[in-house]
Amino acid sequence: QVQLVQSEAVVKKPGASVKVSCKASGYTFTSYYMHWVRQAPGQGLEWMGIINPSGGSTNYAQKFQGRVTMTRDTSTSTVYMELSSLRSEDTAVYFCARGVATNSYYFDYWGQGTLVTVSS
Amino acid sequence: DIQMTQSPSTLSASVGDRVTITCRASQSISIYLAWYQQKPGKAPKLLIYKASSLESGVPSRFSGSGSGTEFTLTISSLQPDDFATYYCQQYNSYCTFGQGTKLEIK
């Protein structure tokens, strides 16, 4: 069965960077694009960007361009999302989510979420 | 960017009720709309895609309709497990979510 397992919760100071991982299993890793979506406490869902695990190409939401980097490791079927220059407003649960089809922007499987807390 | 607006923000209903949630897009998105259900502390769950296609394993009491800029999610007879927050999402141009509709027990 398809599973997306994310890294554990983390606390970071303002100005630092965070790197969240998402390990995929139960399907061919390189056949489905992966997205990152975040949710601030008590708020809605916000799309951050997409990575093609096959070639590594990415496309980021304009809001995060310059601060986010998405990468992948095909040997371990893992995608990563790194967010830099953290501020308190980046406190949120970060989800990886599998695109339903190639370059599709809706999602059939989600990770369990990783809480990133930005606090001094 | 395409903006998505859901109404109502909160909906109080009882088990067995028929409920409808509306989602409006700031410009036409054809039928490229999905609906998700989210429970506290959990990831969203895909219910509907392409405006009206039911995801595998989702109960048939859930249905979606619409095209262009106006869409609805209907639950025909509310069950206790349905009390949750619902989000619409457009994927005609990248991805944008609505702000959510919290479905509460009356």
The tens place of each residue's pLDDT in chain B, 106 residues long, gives: 999 999 999 999 999 999 999 999 999 999 999 999 999 999 999 999 999 999 999 999 999 999 999 999 999 999 999 999 999 999 999 999 999 999 999 8
State the count of interchain CB pairs (< 8 A) between A and B: 46
What's chain A's average pLDDT?
96
pLDDT exceeds cutoff 90 at A23? yes
Nearest residue in B to A103, CA atom? B94
- Chain A: give the shortest CA distance to residue B77, in Å: 24
Selection from A8, A109, A11, A95 nearest residue A48 by Cα? A95
Q: What is the mean pLDDT of residues A18-39?
A: 97
**From CA B97, how far away is CA B5, in angstroms rounded?**
8
Distance from CA of A112 to the nearest CA of B (A): 6
- Overall average pLDDT of the A74-92 stretch: 98
B19-47 core/surface letters (b: 16 or more CB in 10 A; e: else): bebbbbbeeebebbbbbbbbeeeebbbbb
Distances in whole angstroms, Cα of residue B45 to Cα of each of A15, A98, B77: 33, 12, 19
Going by their DSSP bridges, the two strands B101-105 and A10-12 should be labelled as unpaired
A108 touches chain B (CB under 8 A): yes
Measured in angstroms, the CA of B91 and the nearest CA of chain A are apart by 5
DSSP string across B74-100: EESS--GGG-SEEEEEE-SSS-EE---
Q: Which of B22, B12, B30, B24 has the alpha carbon at shortest distance from B68?
A: B30
Tokens of B99: 């702000």
Q: What radius of gyration, in Å, describes the C-alpha atoms of chain B?
A: 13
Q: How far apart are CA A109 and CA A97, in angstroms?
A: 6
Mean pLDDT along residues A31-44: 96
**B10 and B20 Cβ atoms separated by less than 8 Å:** no
Cα A2 to chain centroid distance, Å, stands at: 17
pLDDT reported for residue A32: 94
pLDDT range class, residue A29, cuts 50, 70, 90:
very high
DSSP letter for each residue of A18-66? EEEEEEEESS-GGGS-EEEEEE-TT--EEEEEEE-TTT--EEE-GGGTT
- pLDDT surpasses 80 at A102: no
Any residues with CB less than 8 A from the CB of B81 and at least 6 apart, and which?
none
Note whether B95 contacts A106, CB cutoff 8 Å.
yes
Q: A107, A104, A80: which is closest to A94 by C-alpha?
A: A80
> How many CA atoms lie less than 13 Å away from B49 in the CB half-sphere?
15
Q: Measured between beta carbons, which residues in chain B are less than 8 angstroms from residue A48?
A: none
Q: Which pLDDT does position B95 carry in this prediction?
A: 94
Q: What's the pLDDT at B45?
A: 98
Q: What is the pLDDT of residue A104?
A: 80
Q: What is the pLDDT of residue A101?
A: 79
Distance, in angstroms, between A73 CA and closest chain B CA?
Answer: 24
A47/B34 CB distance under 8 A: no
CA B55 to chain centre: 13
Predicted local confidence at residue B57, as pLDDT? 97
**CB nearest to B34's CB, from A44, A106, A111:** A106
pLDDT tops 90 at residue A7: yes
Q: Which chain A residues are Cβ-neighbours of B102 within 8 angstroms?
A: none
Residues 25-84 on A with a CB inside 8 Å of B are 35, 44-47, 59, 61-62
Does residue A103 surpass a pLDDT of 80?
Answer: no
